[in-house]
Structure 1
Amino acid sequence: QLQTSYNTLTKERDHLKEELNKQTCEWRRFKSSLYYLSTEKKSWTESRQDCLGRGAHLVIINSKEEQEFIHGWSECLDIYLGFHDTNTEGVWEWINDGALGQSSAPGTTYWRDGEPNDANQGEDCAQLSKQVSDPLKSWNDIPCTTNIHWMCEKTTSTL
């Protein structure tokens, strides 16, 4: 009976290790953060909720190197960033730590030429657009209801 229990626990342990490895493979490390690139498309709010469910937040760009890493990894996908002006038109804010309603002012930004333009007065969420090859001029504002891919980020301090 003890041997049967041991065998069962060993199988459960191995299964849990497999599941953990699958989840870890979905995330990429860059400096002190882990990043998850979605395989499906959702609105900005749904994307944000997905990140929160993963113990993360929509990606926040803190450096030129991070911008280049994200631009390179997202390949041909347009992705949501954790950047918005939903509180006050024209005042762009980063979401912080996935906490609803918590934002901070932007540092350096990487807007495409002519962006943000709030076309039709309805573009309040930022995307990293792959329509431009220059990673340092690749942000665009779009309606938050647009279904596109997204990227989540969590720092190693939240693991």
Structure 2
Amino acid sequence: MSLPLQQDFPVLEEDALQNPRWHQILLWVVCFGIVILVAVVIILLLQLEAEKKKAGAGCYPVKSNCSSDNFQSLLRSRICNQSEANSPCQICSPHWHLHQDRCYWLSTDIKSWNESRSDCTEKGAQLVVIPDKEEMEILKKIMVVTQTYWIGLYLSEKKWRWITDHQLDQNLFQEPPSSAGNESCGRIKDSKIIPDVCNAVFRWICQKDPIVL
């Protein structure tokens, strides 16, 4: 009874070897896929090369082959309308005012002097310091006349000092601030410096250096 079964195996193996069509179909599919993949890679490389050539002519900042000098020149011409390479271009952050090599920001909210100082620090700035009358004239142009603003002035050991640790030049102002107690801070209104308790709440002015291109 086992002989017929032993004779059937060679027949099945011979049929499988004589009919390899599914192997051929699979091979053709793989080859076709490889050809398509190579064609896609070539097209992408050609497009990338074209973009690099285009970027070299226009020098846009998102392209890696645009030099820093060319990028700065482009920013000067677009932002500051400057074409000279050695001419500095100064810019401020949005909502800041550029005046005489300084950027100024005026609040619309009200805080105490210490809170105002902390807010300026978080902005990478400081409460405004007024070293001379020229700086005062600049502030008069940008301040709201009816508003009072904290400035970087405080009373320390009965002497008025700026937050830069410089002492206030009393000759700069017609009405220098007098002492308002041990914890006194300076505010400005209509070009006049007024002493007040530091816990009072007013608007404030931040100051920082501009970005130079």
Secondary structure of 1:62's match? coil
SS in 1 for 2:135: helix
- Report whether the alignment pairs 1:95 with 2:163: yes
**1:150 counterpart = 2:204:** yes
Q: Which runs of 5+ in 2 are unaligned?
A: 1-43, 45-61, 63-91
Q: Which of these residues, 149, 152, 168, is aligned with residue 106 of structure 1?
A: 168
Specify the structure having the higher radius of gyration (Cα): 2
Are 2:28 and 1:28 equivalent residues in the alignment?
Answer: no
Is 1:128 matched with 2:197?
no
- Residue 59 of structure 1 contacts residue 82 of structure 1 at CA under 8 Å; is this kept in 2? yes
Of 29, 53, 63, the match for 2:132 = 63
Compute the displacement of 1:65 (Å).
1.6
Asked if 2 retains the 8 angstrom alpha-carbon contact of 1:123 and 1:141, the reply is no
- Equivalences for 1:4-15 in 2 at 5 Å? none
Counterpart residue identity of residue 66, structure 1: E
CA distance in 2 between partners of 1:157 and 1:104 (Å)? 25
Q: Distance in 1 between matches of 2:120 and 2:174?
A: 23
More relative contact order, 1 or 2 (CA 8 Å, 6+ apart): 1
- 8 A contact 1:59–1:153 mirrored in 2: yes
AA partner of residue 148 (structure 2): D
Q: CA deviation at 1:128?
A: 0.4
Paired residues, what number? 122
> For 2:182 and 2:95, how far apart are their aligned partners in 1?
33
4+ residue segments displaced more than 6 Å: none
CA distance in 2, matches of 1:112, 1:30: 25
* 1:106/1:117 CA distance change after superposition, 3 Å: closer
Distance 1:30 1:127 in 2: 20
* Partner deviation per Cα, 1:35-86 (whole Å, 9 max, x = no partner): 000010000000000000000000001221210111231122100110111x
Amino acid at match of 1:24: S
Per-residue deviation, residues 11-57 of structure 1 (Å, max 9, x unmatched): xx9xxxxxxxxx83310011111000001000000000000000000
Compare 32-41 and 62-71 and name the one that shifted more.
Answer: 62-71
How far apart are the structure 1 equivalents of 2:195 and 2:151? 10
Determine what percentage of the aligned residue pairs are the same residue.
28
Q: Please name the residue that 2:119 is paired with.
A: 50
2:178 counterpart of 1:116? yes
Q: Which residue of 2 aligns with 1:81?
A: 151
Task: Pick the structure with more helix per residue.
Answer: 2
